[in-house]
Chains A and B, each alone.
Chain A
Amino acid sequence: MNRRRLTAKEASLVSCHLCGKLFRDTPAPKRVKRRCTRCGATLHSRKPESLARTWALVITGLILYIPANLYPIMTVTQMGRGTPDTILSGIVALFNSGLWSIGVIVFTASILIPVLKLVVMVLLLLSVHFRWRWPRRQRTLVYKIVEYIGKWSMLDIFMISILVALVKLGFLLNITPNKGASAFAAVVIVTMFAAMSFDTRLIWDRKNYHE
């Protein structure tokens, strides 16, 4: 039983990425997309252009991260005086007013998760490119965590949508959204797509199929 166990790719099989059905990987003429006979999704042994797409999306995310943090995301107008808040200044304000438990949550969702996600994606990409000896199981786990936590960054955007709708007390207190929110939402979406386009099977492949 010491025989090396095969992957689907090595056994000339391909599994549907959506429903998991296994197919024989027959060489199809170029530009003809093979489809899963069960669910109709396009069949591919590895996600197409996984590394290039993930790099492109990660870099887009890094660029968008700058306006997302520099521009204000919302303005609180109290007694006619408006103070625009960026993501960071909003968190600092929470800590200053003693709401540190909420401050920690917002900090995790809006700063820690996006940064962690971008850094981890870059490390995973490099590890595949340069065949690092970082344990494969650990890398797969790290990827899964990053993929799961991504959506929690939308917290700030949702919070703005709630506050804007709720706090309309005219001169007394008013909250309006700003352009920075759009940039931040874009970062979240782009990094979520980046995580989706990365293929963990590249971590496990013994040969570099992507080269």
Chain B
Amino acid sequence: MKNLIRNIIYQGKNLLRDAGFSFWVMLYPLILAMFFNIAFSGMMDIELTNIDVGIVDGNPIEQVLEEIEFINIHKITDEEVIEKLDNEEIHGFIDEDLNLTVKKSGINQTIIKEIIEQIKQMEKLNRPIENYDFEANYIVDRNQKANSIIVVFFSLIAMFSTYSINAGISTVSLTQANLSNIGVRVNSTPLKKKNFLLAGVIVALFLNLLANGVLLLFVKYVLKIDLLKNIKYSIILIIIGNLFGVSLGMFIGASNKKSMNTKILIGVASTLFLSFLSGMMGPWMKDVIDEHIPILARINPISIISNNLYRINILESTKTVGEGIMILFSYCGVLILLSYMFLRRKSYDSL
């Protein structure tokens, strides 16, 4: 036990003082979160004001449009439409048959289109249009857009929860005499390999969880985005994400004799690709996967973490958490088993 604690302290010091580790695990998540916040903040702050709509005099929905506060009506003739659109004096033109003409696509044009759709639906249902609260409905729509951006942040957290992959790779490398010089020395001592490995795994989990904690505090208090409502399940998911990262790192580290840098590259590329599929580079990817290959979202570990973080914190549903945890645990089990098969060798064919 004493030896385990000493190993944890020294391996922890060695890892924490590593400039590469400090940057990629501690600092990089904060930089990326800040970058995402800047990049997507425009989408999160849509203001519904001053949407200029052109109509001809006597348009059947003129009165309805007048009731909508954020719509400015411009009465124009059919001949003026192109000119007004070209000069960007109006965002769109609605003709008497409720067809929309726009010059370019954008949020304001989308909103006009949505309003027309809503009016058409109300007419079909024979419901009085005057009772419809367009602004309230667009506020809901805006929140849904904001929630899509939150998907990005949940994917980000999911990805960084698996960043323990780097420490997993490093620990395995230090354990194996055929992978590092330290490994040669360690294997010549009376220290049992499993104790060294266990200490490395504990250090990897502890430091990466610490980095995840810093990231969450940064997002909440600096970026002012309140992501986690269900702390208990969120922490469980993040811990399992860390465990998955270490397991995958151990597997990548133990399964081949590539250089340390190549292995780290493989690790980072894998997590980045899985994060991309889970919607980290844009919520549209998640929509595409959900629509065309839904099974991928169910088996992609980063998706499992980010989707469940979304469900438990935004939709307040814990329905799929159990299944997600089971799948992640299965991955960990398989990866640890495979790693063990490579690591159990005590003598090597070559060093």
Please determine whether chains A and B interact with each other in the same assembly.
no
| Interface positions of A (Cβ within 8 A of B) | none
